[in-house]
Structure 1
Amino acid sequence: MAKTENMGVNTICTHVGEVADEQFKGAISPLYMSSSYAYENVDIKRYPRYFNTPNQEALGKKIAALEHTEAGMIFGSGMAAVSHCLLAFLQKGDHVVLQKTLYGGTYNFVVEEFGKFGIEYTFTNGFAEEDFRNALQDNSKVIYVETPSNPLMLITDLEMITRLAKEHDLVSMIDNTFASPINQNPADFGIDIVIHSATKYMGGHSDICAGAVAASDEHIEQIWNLSKNIGGSLSDYTVWLLERSLKTLALRVKAQNRNAKKMAKWLHKHPLVKKVYYPGLKDHPDYTLAKKQMKGYTGMLSFELIPTVNAETFMQSLQLIKQSMSLAGVESTILSPAKTSHTLLSAEERTHQGISDGLLRFSVGIEEKKDLIADFEHAFEVAAKKEIA
């Protein structure tokens, strides 16, 4: 196999990390379901909890190639990947700096669990370099970000984060789920550890739950040393399904990028929409930064309805686009952050973060643009009539 740096992304998606079918010469990776392997006279002592079954090991190579790192690991969920990475580099008495807005699961993990381990943490007040500097302490060990952010699609400067991390000898981590490896490769900007909820764009079909991590051999070794004791490995059948899904990752994501940009522009002009949050729009506050560090603007966007349009009525009137908790599948989905990801925050806290009851998060799928617009137009018409009545 040629060096992956010389390969196009679709070639990486299709071929890197395959398990060779030496016996029958099949065109795809065979699935090894065994949970028990020989330990005498073998090169590798394999054990599922050690993340080194044939399918696990091969898929890690595909993840690494996609994220331009030396190594990769696959986990049972995105939160398994997040928690294992943080705990691998933090211990009692350490401090971590975290971006102001994070995925709700990550936020809850930090707030609810870190005190039990004696780990200190600070959430930044904003996204600027000064905000991160002000959050640093003498015992800081890790700096953790997520860009684009959920749900307002704000962008964090990755070169700035790398600079701060190197200056203060910190390990830098990013949740790259919203971008996917197709739109953003944080390792190219010096970020140490790249984390994904592989349930989302990597899986892409709303039918598997998985997590992924890409990093240097040294950092992966440190994560593995903890992970083998905690046991967050993924079943090989799901590993096999994820490898199958990744073969179309670039095709899917690029189609979702195109749809999202078109829908963002259309919503931006709609009279019943107050504001659209999409980094591919020139009026987005981080458009220039997004253009610098992203290759595509993702299939995710949020938009805020004008106050006279009821968000629940609007969503319930949709016939094609599904109300659903997750994101990044080939089908378009929509939700209210105030009633899902940010429901544990008080109304005042949500207002402070810019999350109103009329804010909706839209995960754009691969459907035809005209069909998505027709569905929205119907929902807008129903919601507007109800308000008038």
Structure 2
Amino acid sequence: MSGAGDRIATRAVHAGHDPAAHQGAAVPPTYASATFVASDTETLEALNDGRARGFVYSRVRNPTVFAAEQRLAAVEGAESVVLFASGMAAISGALMPFLRAGDEVVATPDLYGGTARLFAEVLPLQGITIRWADSLAPDAVAAAMTPATKAIYAETPTNPLLRLVDLAALSAVAKRQGALLIVDGTLGGPLNQDPLSLGVDLLVQSVSKYLNGHADVLGGAVAGSRALTRKVRSLQQAAGAIMDPHAAQLLMRGVATYPLRMARHNASGQRIAGWLAGHPKIARVHYPGLSDHPDHALALRQMTGFGGLISFDCGSDAAARRVVDRTRLFGIGASLGGIESLISQPGNTSHHSVQPARRAEMGITPGLVRISVGIEDADDLIADLEQALEQA
């Protein structure tokens, strides 16, 4: 088992699994059972009441899912983690226990399209008002708040423009009013940034992305203090949206190699972004590791690596489509953070559910292309992008 002083690469391999507790199995086992049998009625009642530790029913808690939660908590540096069936379920799970009809959420303007849809179409039906800040600046968030604001929601780095939010400053804004700060940190991940140490109350991750890394798991996580995650877990147990134990076992496998993969994503992402920035057919490159990025100084303070997601503007929708369609190694598809490289236009993938006018307000132009850099050889990926740009 991993110890408290171990570094992230060690925690990623050992946390959440003790071979001695599982017949010496080196690999965490998968408990596929939906029901667990108690030795007697008194024990069952104690388990149901929380007076005894153990398992009764997998919607409430499953051993494999619990082990994955422990491993992820160790990697995130969190007291507790709750795993969900998807990233969007995790976002809902982080918000709903703390909101009631009449409450308000202040959101930063640059968010993943699925989150924007949740805020536009779902939360208002519950009587919850979303107030959009004019920019990512903490002062703009503070200006949007009212006495009814119960939570601030932000994403850093943002998808797909890779903008950053000053988490320490935003935490101070939230604490002045007693509001929760809830942040989606999927694109940064625990190797590149540590949002909880900067004052974030609840950290949301799509574990389908970098943490699992193999495009074979759908899941989400909410990390934070036990006091807050206890409420998140209570609502999850009542409403469902749990992670499947088979997915949890795959997630544990993926997290074990996460530090190695992320180092490769960081190195290749930085190199490819620099190459793209010098290409004459590209109007602009969005990557926080570049010195001309508007949040580069903040990135140097708040992050230790900049990931494998890059977006760049080809000038028009037609040019962007030609580049996307002419790549050879980049798969055309949604999602990110896997070992294989992907390419897409955010307007028809991550933000297809966002109205064109709103996309324009967010800075998502028709010519924007997003690439998720995998773990292939960076020279091969550059050569593929070069031939696609030349043909375009």
Classify the TM-score, shorter chain: over 0.9
Q: Cα–Cα, structure 1 residues 134 and 105, in superposed 2: closer, same or farther, change >3 Å?
A: same
Instruction: Give deviations 1:203-235, integer Å, cap 9, x for gaps.
Output: 111111011111101001111111111101111
Counterpart amino acid of residue 191 in structure 2: I
Task: Confirm whether residue 181 of structure 1 aligns to residue 180 of structure 2.
Answer: no
Counterpart amino acid of residue 161 in structure 2: L
Instruction: Give deviations 1:128-159, integer Å, cap 9, x for gaps.
Output: 12210111011111111100011111000000
Instruction: Give deviations 1:287-316, integer Å, cap 9, x for gaps.
Output: 010110111111111011145971111111
**Does the 8 Å CA contact 1:78/1:212 hold for their aligned counterparts?**
yes
Equivalent residue, structure 1, for 2:7:
8
**Does the 8 Å CA contact 1:21/1:30 hold for their aligned counterparts?**
no
Instruction: Look up the SS of the partner of 2:73 in the other structure.
Output: helix
Equivalent residue, structure 1, for 2:167:
158
Instruction: Using the TM superposition, give the Cα deviation of residue 373 of structure 1 relative to its aligned residue in structure 2, in angstroms.
Output: 1.1
Instruction: Look up the SS of the partner of 1:209 in the other structure.
Output: coil
Q: Cα–Cα, structure 1 residues 23 and 160, in superposed 2: closer, same or farther, change >3 Å?
A: closer
Equivalent residue, structure 1, for 2:321:
312
Counterpart amino acid of residue 316 in structure 1: D
Instruction: Using the TM superposition, give the Cα deviation of residue 341 of structure 1 relative to its aligned residue in structure 2, in angstroms.
Output: 2.5
Higher mean C-alpha deviation, range 304-313 or range 211-220: 304-313
**Does the 8 Å CA contact 1:64/1:71 hold for their aligned counterparts?**
yes
Equivalent residue, structure 1, for 2:260:
251
Provide the aligned C-alpha RMSD in A: 1.5
Equivalent residue, structure 1, for 2:29:
30
TM-score scaled to structure 2, two decimals?
Answer: 0.94
Instruction: Give deviations 1:83-120, integer Å, cap 9, x for gaps.
Output: 01110111111111111111111111121111221111
Instruction: Using the TM superposition, give the Cα deviation of residue 349 of structure 1 relative to its aligned residue in structure 2, in angstroms.
Output: 3.2
Instruction: Look up the SS of the partner of 2:238 in the other structure.
Output: helix
Counterpart amino acid of residue 34 in structure 1: S
Mapping 1:339-378, distance limit 5 Å: 339-378=348-387
State the distance in 1 between where 2:229 and 2:317 align: 51
Counterpart amino acid of residue 228 in structure 1: Q
Q: Cα–Cα, structure 1 residues 23 and 203, in superposed 2: closer, same or farther, change >3 Å?
A: closer
**Does the 8 Å CA contact 1:304/1:359 hold for their aligned counterparts?**
yes
State the distance in 2 between where 1:313 and 1:84 align: 39
Mapping 1:198-277, distance limit 5 Å: 198-277=207-286
State the distance in 2 between where 1:247 and 1:72 align: 17
State the distance in 2 between where 1:175 and 1:139 align: 22
Q: Cα–Cα, structure 1 residues 107 and 236, in superposed 2: closer, same or farther, change >3 Å?
A: same
Q: Cα–Cα, structure 1 residues 140 and 348, in superposed 2: closer, same or farther, change >3 Å?
A: closer
Equivalent residue, structure 2, for 1:44:
54
Instruction: Using the TM superposition, give the Cα deviation of residue 44 of structure 1 relative to its aligned residue in structure 2, in angstroms.
Output: 2.1
Equivalent residue, structure 2, for 1:113:
122
State the distance in 1 between where 2:213 and 2:18 align: 21
State the distance in 1 between where 2:359 and 2:259 align: 34
The number of equivalent residue pairs is: 381
**Does the 8 Å CA contact 2:182/2:204 hold for their aligned counterparts?**
yes
State the distance in 1 between where 2:154 and 2:90 align: 14
Higher mean C-alpha deviation, range 206-215 or range 306-315: 306-315
Instruction: Look up the SS of the partner of 2:21 in the other structure.
Output: coil
Instruction: Give deviations 1:244-291, integer Å, cap 9, x for gaps.
Output: 111000110110010000000000001111110000001101001011
State the distance in 2 between where 1:43 and 1:265 align: 52
Instruction: Using the TM superposition, give the Cα deviation of residue 346 of structure 1 relative to its aligned residue in structure 2, in angstroms.
Output: 4.3
Q: Cα–Cα, structure 1 residues 253 and 216, in superposed 2: closer, same or farther, change >3 Å?
A: same
TM-score scaled to structure 1, two decimals?
Answer: 0.94
**Does the 8 Å CA contact 2:34/2:57 hold for their aligned counterparts?**
yes
State the distance in 2 between where 1:89 and 1:352 align: 29
Mapping 1:283-302, distance limit 5 Å: 283-302=292-311
Equivalent residue, structure 2, for 1:387:
none
Instruction: Look up the SS of the partner of 2:389 in the other structure.
Output: helix
Q: Cα–Cα, structure 1 residues 308 and 152, in superposed 2: closer, same or farther, change >3 Å?
A: closer
Instruction: Look up the SS of the partner of 2:97 in the other structure.
Output: helix
**Does the 8 Å CA contact 1:19/1:54 hold for their aligned counterparts?**
no
Residue ranges of structure 1 left out of the alignment (5+ in a row): 384-389
Equivalent residue, structure 1, for 2:73:
64
Instruction: Using the TM superposition, give the Cα deviation of residue 23 of structure 1 relative to its aligned residue in structure 2, in angstroms.
Output: 5.1
Equivalent residue, structure 1, for 2:291:
282
Equivalent residue, structure 1, for 2:333:
324
Instruction: Give deviations 1:307-326, integer Å, cap 9, x for gaps.
Output: 59711111111111111111
State the distance in 2 between where 1:297 and 1:8 align: 20
**Does the 8 Å CA contact 1:78/1:198 hold for their aligned counterparts?**
yes
Counterpart amino acid of residue 57 in structure 2: Y
Instruction: Give deviations 1:20-70, integer Å, cap 9, x for gaps.
Output: 3535312111221111112343632432111x2111111111111111111
Counterpart amino acid of residue 164 in structure 1: V
Equivalent residue, structure 2, for 1:386:
none
Instruction: Look up the SS of the partner of 1:144 in the other structure.
Output: strand
Counterpart amino acid of residue 322 in structure 1: G
Identity of aligned residues (%): 35
